Chain A
Amino acid sequence: MMSKVISGNEAVALGVKLSRVKVIAIYPITPQTYIIEELAAMRDKGELDAEVIRVESEHSAMAAIYGAASTGVRVYTATASQGLLYMHEMVWWVAGSRIPIVMTVGTRAVGAPWNIWNEHTDFMSERDSGWIMTFASTPQEALDLTLQAFRISEDERVFLPMMVGMDGFILSHTKTRVYIPSQEDVDEFLPPRKQPYTLDPEDPVDIGNMFQPIDYMKFRHSIHLAMLHSIDVIKEVGKEYEKKVIPIGSYSTLNDSYKLDDAEYAIVSMGAWSLDVMQVVDELRKEGIKIGLYRIRYVRPWDEEDIKKKLGDKQGILVLDRSVSFGRGGHLYLELKSTLPEANIKGVVTGLGGVSIGKDMILPLTRKFIEGNTNNEWFYPSEVEKVELRNPRYIK
């Protein structure tokens, strides 16, 4: 193990290399582009023993690695925003065929209007697709989760693809110290891929053909069950990762928490700003307010049991969402509300399209919530008071 000051994108690229991926599809889209450029460069220098395929769209990126993975090899790609939406159809196709694939999503707002900055709506809009979905809060975690993703998704109790989210720019481009495991440790942790169904003339199988409704529904049910089973697998893999690869993380649970055990109030968040929330917790604790953080690391599977156990007894829960289901509210808020219908939960949608939200803004939001003055709301620090469209006019 060694350590280096690198960006989230570099950390992920190193993780992909260490995973001994065999086929990589690359297509540029901000802010993940650096990952695939780095992989292309590694391949050029002979450091990476993988076939790189430079496709003409994200739809094709997913199709290409799906085709490769269906022959039994380990594959990878990365995307963001419009790109993820463009490959949406293939994202579903891959999960429906139970083909393990790992992909990074450098999260970014979705147009219109154009916006290249961070937001989680792109990522969250795939939550019904059958992919396991995990989200990093640091470049280190982006690397760790990438390595774990291959193990989890290729586990025979799972066989589902897995996407690793990472806040665009905030993690993708920010450099911090990252521990990088040795190839030997990763090799021991991540054995070669095994697959029950591969496309081979020696053993012809069909993937994805038409099925009767009852069989189709059984397939869907199998995805649901695999998703539920993956909870145990994720914990097992996480523990093994701590033991065999990097002994500093905390991966024995799906989600993470901070000063939560004795807390009366909890903030729920996901991704990089969770570190700001930790500072908010420290600040408020100094004032004697018992508050803690529950950090969602896995959107799918959704660890209902753990959430009930850790948050069920809290007096109030404030959910920070960097994504929104229009007319309903933040995605995490909605998930929490359905898990704990009786609890006092309030949701704030904020930070969309790269609106910078740090400790200084989360602190007053939290105070207001503790004082009982918060309804579900949108928060953006701005002079704009009203969102207006132009007056409609008749077209002659």
Chain B
Amino acid sequence: MSLGIRDISNKPRLLPGTSACPGCPENIALKAISMALGENAVFIVVAGCSSIIQGMGPKSTYNYPVLNIAFAAGPAAAAGMAKAFKLRNKDIKPVVWAGDGGTADIGFASLSGAAERNDNILYICVDNEAYMNTGGHRSGSTPFGAKTASTPGGKKENKKDLPFIMIAHHVPYVATASVGYLHDLMDKIKKARSIEGFSYVQVLTPDPYGWMFDPSKTAELGKLAVQTCYWPLIEYENGKLFISQESMHCLDKRTRKPIKEFLKLQGRYKGVSEEVIRGLEDYIDRMWERIKSIYEGKVIL
């Protein structure tokens, strides 16, 4: 397969026959990410959809060595593994694959610990904005106003800003990506893979099951999230923040697509009030003010 990008592996790393739902964003992300990662990686899969997507043992659809692990333990297991590989002089990258619940909520202490120690691991958070594998419950990463199984009236709080929290850990590399822009995602994974130390990539993975949209529209939702500036594509390296090309237009409020275009395709925002929409717009405005300040060097994180 050639996508016109250099240095990617075309050896299939996600084999056919996964147990994912139709239109699953994690499947898409996993395929792209493994192309960018190449061979010398081990996956540490934290409880979530990805524990199921690989299928029933003893077979597996992940063509990588995989250590499946309990919810809160991924980064620590990866850290131990990194030490062991270092000792054996092996250039093998432990890659944690976790959902937003495992990252923002239950696994956060362990993630924060690994980041603070600058363990030589790559942490990928696939953010589908709820506990989709357990019936679509809200997580710390669920956005304001979204209806979930545990917030049937819509979530009252904003999304936890994980990328910025990770930047505040002084780690070498933090990036955000979306399954709507796979080239960008692969570039960032390649960069993260090459970093010596801790790197964090959070991929927005719109989930047809939990967000309630037509499974053919996963990539479209991934694009709209970026175009409406709800999901910024950024990179943070060596103390500097970069805004990816696809998100540059967000710096100016006038060139952002209205958030309604992103919301109208999703069942979880069906029939929401104008107040919720204003709340989300407000969230986006404030987020971009912050990004701008850091980008222009006015605020140092």
Interface residues of A (CB under 8 A from B): 22-23, 25, 51, 53-57, 59-73, 75, 89-90, 93, 199-201, 203-212, 215
Contacts and interface: CB of A to CB of B under 8 A. Distances in A.
Given A51-B83, A93-B73, A210-B57, A67 B65 contact: no
B56 A210 contact: yes
A206 B87 contact: no
Given A59-B73, A206-B68, A71 B56 contact: no
Given A53-B117, A56-B113, A204 B63 contact: yes
Contacts of B80: 23, 25, 53, 63-69, 75
B60 A67 contact: no
A215 B57 contact: yes
A25 B73 CA distance: 14
A70 B94 CA distance: 12
Given A51-B83, A60-B110, A201-B64, 12 more contacts: A25-B76, A55-B76, A57-B113, A63-B73, A67-B44, A67-B79, A68-B83, A68-B84, A199-B42, A200-B92, A206-B67, A207-B68
A75 B87 CA distance: 12
Interface in B58-113: 58, 60, 62-70, 72-81, 83-88, 92, 94, 109-110, 112-113
B51 A210 contact: yes
A66 B68 contact: no
Closest A-B pairs by Cβ, 6 of them: A56-B113, A67-B77, A60-B76, A64-B80, A208-B68, A67-B80
B88 A71 contact: yes
A151 B242 CA distance: 53
B87 A56 contact: no
Which of A66, A201, A205, A206 has the largest number of chain B CB atoms within 10 A?
A206
A206 B83 CA distance: 20
B111 to A, nearest CB: 10
Interface string B242-286: 000000000000000000000000000000000000000000000
A57 B112 CA distance: 11
15 contacts: A22-B84, A22-B87, A56-B109, A56-B116, A59-B76, A60-B79, A63-B74, A63-B76, A67-B69, A67-B94, A93-B73, A199-B65, A206-B66, A207-B68, A211-B57
Contacts of B70: 63, 89-90, 93
Contacts of B72: 59, 89
A326 to B, nearest CB: 27
B79 A71 contact: no
A247 B255 CA distance: 82
Given A51-B86, A51-B87, A56 B68 contact: no
Contacts of A71: 42, 81, 84-85, 88
B52 interface: yes
B40 interface: yes
B189 to A, nearest CB: 16
Given A60-B110, A209-B51, A210-B57, A55 B81 contact: no
Contact of A209 (B44, B60, B78, B83): B60
Interface of B: 39-42, 44-45, 51-52, 54-58, 60, 62-70, 72-81, 83-88, 92, 94, 109-110, 112-113, 116-117, 119
Given A51-B84, A70-B81, A73-B87, A64 B68 contact: no
Nearest to B75: A60
A208 B46 CA distance: 11
A169 to B, nearest CB: 29
Given A89-B70, A209-B54, A67 B113 contact: no
Which of A22, A60, A203 has the largest number of chain B CB atoms within 10 A?
A60
A212 B57 CA distance: 8
Given A56-B113, A93-B69, A67 B57 contact: no
Given A201-B39, A201-B41, A211-B57, A64 B79 contact: yes
Contacts of B78: 67
Contacts, number: 156
A98 to B, nearest CB: 13
Contacts of B69: 63, 66-67, 93, 208
A201 B73 contact: no
Contact of A54 (B86, B109, B117): B117
Which of B42, B83, B110 has the largest number of chain A CB atoms within 10 A?
B83
A201 B55 CA distance: 19
Which of B76, B79, B80, B92 has the largest number of chain A CB atoms within 10 A?
B80
Contact of B73 (A53, A60, A70, A203): A60
A205 B113 contact: no
Nearest to B112: A56
A65 B79 CA distance: 9
A74 B69 CA distance: 19
B98 to A, nearest CB: 13
Contacts of A208: 67-69
B35 to A, nearest CB: 15
Contact of A53 (B56, B67, B74, B79): B79
Which of B40, B75, B84 has the largest number of chain A CB atoms within 10 A?
B84
Contacts of B45: 209
A203 B41 CA distance: 12
A327 to B, nearest CB: 30
B54 A67 contact: no
A199 to B, nearest CB: 4
B113 A60 contact: yes
B268 to A, nearest CB: 27
B76 A70 contact: no
A277 B76 CA distance: 43
Given A22-B87, A215-B57, A67 B76 contact: yes
A129 B104 CA distance: 29
Contacts of A204: 63-66
Contact of B110 (A53, A59, A93): A59
Given A60-B73, A67-B94, A206 B54 contact: yes
Given A56-B113, A207-B67, A215-B57, A23 B87 contact: yes
Given A65-B80, A93-B73, A211-B57, A57 B109 contact: yes
A201 B56 contact: no
A69 B68 CA distance: 14
A59 B81 CA distance: 15
